[in-house]
Structure 1
Amino acid sequence: MVSLIHLIRNENMKLYKRTGTWVMIGLIILAIVGVGLFSKFVLDSDAQINWKEQLKDENMQLERTMKDTEKMGVGNNYVKQQLAINNYRLENDYPPVHSQSLWGFMIDATNFTGFVALFTIVVAAGIVASEFSWGTIKLLLIRPVSRSKILLSKYITTILFALFMISLLFGLSFIFGSLLFGFSGLEQPNLVYQEGQVVEQNMITYIISLYGFNSIDLFMMLTFAFMISTVFRSSSLAIGISIFLMFTGPQLVQLLSNYEWVKYVLFANTNLQQYTNGIPIVEGMTMTFSVSMIIIYFVIFIALSWIIFEKQDVAS
């Protein structure tokens, strides 16, 4: 019997033999290099020097905003939190994290997880559907291995590709950020507002948590694209629907946030940062609820993929 590890190795060999895979890897590298050079040579460095004056001006604006919202009887937790963090920086001489620093550059690089999601969706959408379009699915199924093991090897390969791309993004941002901006300010903490007070956190832990939070949406969308690819045997359909939902889903949830039922939509739950540094989209939502909804959607996507793949007729 063919082992699962052998199947995964074969899928990885097929994936990394494709020119498109290396083009995606190259684009990530170019993006990191480009943003690093832009931050180093184009952005204004005076902001780091005059940060105290800038924070004082920002505090004056925040205080005016707070007074205006209080007159209207509207609470503004974000303004209150930001004001407290700014005052803490001034009192303890902690400058804001600037893009022209290692930590700032690494934080900015987390925005590229969206590109990683796009590339991973392309891989997930094609890894099953391409076997049908090329006619190679018959060669796979005549081997002494179950359909479930074949599908599992393809899904694990997609997950490994996503992890590789995220690790590449993290590693490149650290290496290139170190080369451009050095290691000054490594002791600088991340400041968060928790339970009515400002708390210092380890910066590298915070950056890793950003990657973790951003990866939740990535893994759900690649699983969705994998499901569409398996069910409909069409990579273009899987790519189109997945990318459309990835960009429009969160905006639609925001527009419908006044409705109670929107909390059951996937995109209302994938952003777990709403519980750590913000306000839930729908009042009453909790971290436990969102994690439960993510698990339910994940099980549905995986179950549909496996059930339909097991029953599909590949003769046509």
Structure 2
Amino acid sequence: MPNLAKLMQNEFIKIFTKIGSWVMIAFVPILTIAAGLLCQYVNQAELQVNNVWEFMDLGLSARPNLMDIVTLFTIIVAAGIVASEFSGGTIKLLLIRPFNRSTILLSKYLTVLLYGLGLTILLLLTAYLTGGILFGFDGASALHAGSSFSNASYVWKAVGYSGIQLIIMVTLAFMFSSVLRTSSIAIGISLFLLLTGGQLAYILKKFEWSKFLIFANTNLLTYIDGQPLMDGMSLSFSLIMLACYELLFLGLAWLVFAKRDVSI
């Protein structure tokens, strides 16, 4: 554990010495506040909110939404965290240290997840304060439109389901980062799948086998509204499928990273 903590500390230093990491962090509250001002001053029915919980609901369930921004930024970090070591040649400096490859890979994965968690917390705090100041802090116990949940319960369910999607997408990007030697290619493929995966799943939904595809199961928010992508799909089915993909991605990342030859 001390070794893992040291490695994670080193990974965080690498992340936060890059200007791009701070730019992404700054963009989260900026975009959240901009979304709040848009809802307040633009006279459109779909953007009308009455309290902080409706604002947070809109920010989490719209397409695209604010959590998609957090996922996007975290994917950028995840897709480059391993591949950049190979493309930059710094992987040699890691491997000569007295840490096994599994510990090195685990430290990078946990660092990425914590980075994503930090962005998520920043988003939620900013959204709560922005929505509360602009629209009021009441309405938590009121029933959410079209559901049997209160506004607060609906929002926290959306946060949880969006968090699961974040973990899966970040793990996918992390796998590409471990398998590929070039960070730009890993980032490009990961962002392409993030932006097109949902549309691809929708196009293929007429085929029964498509429900086993990862992107047919990542949008768990559909289960809150009782509108799954395909008939016969359930929340438990999607969670099982996502767990299988999670293990597959982590297994591939570990296998390639552990077996890859590096001349030191």
In the superposition, the TM-score normalised over structure 1's length comes to 0.77
Could you say which residue in structure 1 is the equivalent of 2:43? Answer: 44
1:4–1:211 Cα change, 3 Å: same
* Aligned pair partner of 1:126 in 69, 80, 88: 80
SS in 1 for 2:43: coil
1:105 aligns with 2:55: yes
CA contact (8 A) 1:2 1:144 kept: no
- Cα distance between partner residues in 2 of 1:269 and 1:162: 20
SS in 2 for 1:3: helix
1:160 aligns with 2:159: no
Could you say which residue in structure 2 is the equivalent of 1:90? Answer: none
Aligned-partner residue type, residue 44 of structure 1:
N
Could you say which residue in structure 1 is the equivalent of 2:130? Answer: 176
1:8 aligns with 2:39: no
CA contact (8 A) 1:127 1:154 kept: yes
The 5 Å alignment of 1:225-240 reads 225-240=173-188
SS in 1 for 2:244: helix
Could you say which residue in structure 2 is the equivalent of 1:241? Answer: 189
- Cα distance between partner residues in 2 of 1:106 and 1:134: 40
CA contact (8 A) 1:125 1:234 kept: no
- Alpha-carbon deviation of 1:234? 1.7
- Cα distance between partner residues in 2 of 1:38 and 1:293: 37
1:2–1:101 Cα change, 3 Å: closer
Could you say which residue in structure 1 is the equivalent of 2:93? Answer: 139
SS in 1 for 2:167: helix
1:116 aligns with 2:70: yes
More relative contact order, 1 or 2 (CA 8 Å, 6+ apart):
2
- Alpha-carbon deviation of 1:8? 1.1
- Cα distance between partner residues in 2 of 1:116 and 1:147: 28
1:283 aligns with 2:235: no
1:97–1:43 Cα change, 3 Å: closer
SS in 2 for 1:245: helix
- Alpha-carbon deviation of 1:164? 0.7
Aligned-partner residue type, residue 17 of structure 1:
T
1:97–1:185 Cα change, 3 Å: farther
Higher alpha-carbon Rg: 1
- Cα distance between partner residues in 1 of 2:100 and 2:48: 53
- Alpha-carbon deviation of 1:287? 2.1
The 5 Å alignment of 1:194-209 reads 199=148, 201-209=149-157
Aligned-partner residue type, residue 117 of structure 2:
L
Could you say which residue in structure 2 is the equivalent of 1:270? Answer: 218
Count of residue pairs brought into register by the alignment = 260
The 5 Å alignment of 1:293-304 reads 293-304=241-252
- Cα distance between partner residues in 1 of 2:58 and 2:26: 19
CA contact (8 A) 1:2 1:145 kept: no
- Alpha-carbon deviation of 1:2? 5.5
- Cα distance between partner residues in 1 of 2:128 and 2:145: 21
Cα displacement string for residues 184-226 of structure 1 (whole angstroms, at most 9, x for unaligned residues) = 4344232444xxxxx3x23222111112222222221111111
Q: Percent same amino acid at aligned positions? A: 44
CA contact (8 A) 1:16 1:22 kept: yes
Could you say which residue in structure 2 is the equivalent of 1:85? Answer: none
- Alpha-carbon deviation of 1:249? 1.5
Could you say which residue in structure 2 is the equivalent of 1:52? Answer: none
- Cα distance between partner residues in 2 of 1:97 and 1:24: 25
Unaligned runs of 5+ in 2: none
- Alpha-carbon deviation of 1:115? 0.9
- Alpha-carbon deviation of 1:166? 0.8
- Alpha-carbon deviation of 1:291? 1.3
CA contact (8 A) 1:230 1:305 kept: yes
- Cα distance between partner residues in 2 of 1:286 and 1:101: 31
Shifted more, 128-137 versus 143-152: the winner is 128-137
Unaligned runs of 5+ in 1: 48-95, 194-198
Aligned-partner residue type, residue 25 of structure 1:
I
